[in-house]
Amino acid sequence: MRQDSPASIQSRLPLLAIFILLFAVILFFRLWYLQVLKGSYYQELAESNRIRPIKIRPPRGIIYDRNGKPMVENELTFDISIVPEDASYLEESVRRIAPVVKMDQQDIIELIDAARPIRTKYEPIKIKEEASWAEVAVAEARQDDLPGVIVEPEHRRHYPYGGLASHQFGYIGKVTEDQKRKLAAEPGMLIGQSGLEKTFDKFLRGTAGRRMIQVNAAGRKVKDLGIEEPKPGTDLFLTLDLDVQRAAEEALGTRAGAIVALDPNSGEILALASHPAYDPNLFPRGISPADWDRLSNDPSHPLYNRAIQSVYPPGSTFKIVVALAGLNQGLIDPDEKVNCGGSLKSGRRSFRCWKRGGHGAVDFHRALVESCDVYFYTMGDRIGFDQIAQTARSLGLAKITGIDLADEKPGLIPTPAWKLEKTREPWFQGDSFINSIGQGFVLVSPIQAAQMMSVLANGGVFYKPQILKRTRNRETGEERIYPAQEKHRIKLNQDALDQVRSALIGVTTEAGGTAHGAATPLAVVAGKTGTAQVIAQKVPGRKLTESTEDHAWFVAYAPADKPTIAVAVIVEHGGHGGAAAAPIARKVIEEHLKHAGTKNGQ
């Protein structure tokens, strides 16, 4: 036999054939035994399969602030449910449970019928959520009389501070058909539908466990076979500071508006507020249609996250952009004086300064400190809006900031070309005037304004506005830290920056400054007021129901020499920025500085 002939191997193939045949015969006889000989026995077992897996929903991850104070938690509650397959006489069970849960029999039947087509077999149907202790006790004690009725523990989402930061947390709701498929969520599960609850749903959700119970032929629970504990969702530690957030919202009070506070050295968001707010505690029980209608049709839009979704004319805060554009280009000479006589003419139109009598002759510093409109009309016209728009964009305006919350709005920075395309009208000198003081077409969101101040404070670094600081797996204690993400840097002319910064300090400290209300003994605050006229909202054909009072802005950072916080405040129809918005910013800054030495969220 040749050595490389295959014959020797082939001679051993029958071994393999015997192995296969032998095993097939064994399997054949085993099947014969199970299916034919013992078939009816197993058939009986299958029919009376008395083990019921009951899903246990996992508790969602807890959301903490940067210092580990819980902002969103869970509460253990009990639901009374029914498994129709286990109720030998469903009507009888319903008749008996109805008085216990104080419900109408017919209502319970309707609940069951409505749930049937969308459930899997043996999935319990909830008839009473958050049952009282008395109801639970009766339902448990009368197990024998109530075939098919079970008590299910549920971890219900709870927001201890009610509406506080409600837009940031968002809300949870029943998973929709579409989400079931896309997100691999289980039917009936409550998942994040907006805000952080949605963005980080993957972390927060956890994994369901199950409880195996054995029931007898009548569907009564005989014993617990065991429990496979659910895996709780991952806990989130936010960058938000509960104290600063609370100070911000208290300062805003019942007025509509938004506040954004962030750390210019990392982009971490310290407070993010939007008013009016809603109570997210309405949602974990499944919000009632009436409540939902009320929230979604409320003309004050309480579901709207104004901090990132609303864009406003920035008013005089926009003068910072014009100042930087002019200084950078050498088109503004800080020593040059412009005479403000209270108004400036363009063609036949006259554009007024907010100070009726005029500021007299003002240089750059005085003009920014006192927010002289005529000075910025003049400079805006000189610089040209193409140039200003470019600077505005480089400061992050007209672009979303990339925060981990959905539906951020980019706002708008106009250019002559844009206007021509949009309105079929050329750009007039008057457009340069009014847009230079943040009126007209310019639209900015509060978070963009805060980001701009942060960039000014740190000398040109753009960070991703960060709201998640770290996550913690509750079971293993494993932590994951999300470090600051620098997106890019812009080059700012140091001289220009120094000029602007010094004027911003003047705003809160010098005689004639527009925001003495922002001054605090704790630190020097650099800031800028804005008072945005609401005229633009008088859309023809729409009835003017809202107040025409001006929007009040204040943007700032502090301490001026070594900033640790950048803030933007807007109070809708609040009136003058210095009077309405600056004191709010002061409270936020003070609350932050009070703790800055003792805690840093590490």
Active site residues: 316
* Helices 446-458 and 319-329: angle between axes, nearest 10 degrees: 40
Distance CA 328, CA 594 (A): 36
Contact string (CB under 8 A) for another protein, positions 520-559, x = contact:
----------------------------------------
Name which of 336 and 475 has its Cβ closer to another protein: 475
Q: How far is CA 114 from CA 82, 93, 117, 119, 599, in A?
A: 13, 18, 7, 10, 53
| Six token digits for residue 468 | 């998640």
- 222 near another protein, rule: CB under 8 A: no
Distance CA 501, CA 546 (A): 36
Among 187, 188, 360, 512, binds another protein (CB under 8 A): 187
Distance CA 505, CA 509 (A): 6
Least Å distance between CB 193 and another protein?
20
Contact string (CB under 8 A) for another protein, positions 83-122, x = contact:
----------------------------------xxxxxx
Answer positive or negative: Cα dihedral of 78, 79, 83, 88: positive
403 SS3 class: coil
Q: Which residues contact 526 (CB under 8 A, 6 or more apart)?
A: 457, 501, 504, 505, 507, 508, 556, 557, 558, 560, 563
- 217 near another protein, rule: CB under 8 A: no
Residue numbers 3-32 binding another protein by CB under 8 A: 3-6, 8-10, 12-13, 15-17, 19-21, 23-24, 26-28, 30-32
Q: Which amino acid is at 73?
A: E
Least Å distance between CB 217 and another protein?
15
3-state helix, strand, coil in the chain (%, to 5): 40, 20, 40
Among 35, 216, 339, 537, binds another protein (CB under 8 A): 35
The stretch among 223-231, 253-261, 514-522, 591-599 that binds another protein (CB under 8 A) is 223-231
| Six token digits for residue 47 | 């029919």
Name which of 122 and 351 has its Cβ closer to another protein: 122
**Is the CB of residue 169 less than 8 Å from the CB of residue 177?**
no
- 216 near another protein, rule: CB under 8 A: no
Least Å distance between CB 86 and another protein?
12
Answer positive or negative: Cα dihedral of 352, 356, 360, 363: negative
Q: Binding-site residue total for another protein (CB under 8 A)?
A: 55
Least Å distance between CB 472 and another protein?
18
- 41 near another protein, rule: CB under 8 A: yes
- 425 near another protein, rule: CB under 8 A: no
Least Å distance between CB 171 and another protein?
24
**Is the CB of residue 598 less than 8 Å from the CB of residue 251?**
no
Among 114, 141, 218, 225, binds another protein (CB under 8 A): 225
**Is the CB of residue 168 less than 8 Å from the CB of residue 405?**
yes
Name which of 21 and 76 has its Cβ closer to another protein: 21
Residues of 4-14 as b/e, b for ≥16 C-beta within 10 angstroms?
eeeeeeeeeee
Distance CA 551, CA 144 (A): 66
Least Å distance between CB 507 and another protein?
52
Distance CA 41, CA 29 (A): 17
Name which of 46 and 511 has its Cβ closer to another protein: 46
Name which of 4 and 421 has its Cβ closer to another protein: 4
Distance CA 66, CA 261 (A): 14
Name which of 118 and 331 has its Cβ closer to another protein: 118
Contact string (CB under 8 A) for another protein, positions 313-332, x = contact:
--------------------
Least Å distance between CB 155 and another protein?
21
Q: Which amino acid is at 45?
A: L
E strands in 427-582: 461-463, 468-472, 479-481, 486-489, 526-532, 551-558, 565-571
Least Å distance between CB 180 and another protein?
7
| Six token digits for residue 225 | 């076979």
- How many Cα atoms within 13 Å fall on the side-chain side of residue 120? 7
Among 111, 137, 212, 536, binds another protein (CB under 8 A): 212
Name which of 3 and 598 has its Cβ closer to another protein: 3
Among 46, 134, 290, 511, binds another protein (CB under 8 A): 46
**Is the CB of residue 448 less than 8 Å from the CB of residue 530?**
no
Residue numbers 120-159 binding another protein by CB under 8 A: 120-122
Least Å distance between CB 175 and another protein?
12
Least Å distance between CB 201 and another protein?
19
Q: Which residues of this chain interact with another protein, rule CB under 8 A?
A: 1, 3-6, 8-10, 12-13, 15-17, 19-21, 23-24, 26-28, 30-32, 34-36, 38-43, 45-47, 49, 51, 53, 117-122, 177, 180-181, 187, 210, 212, 225-228
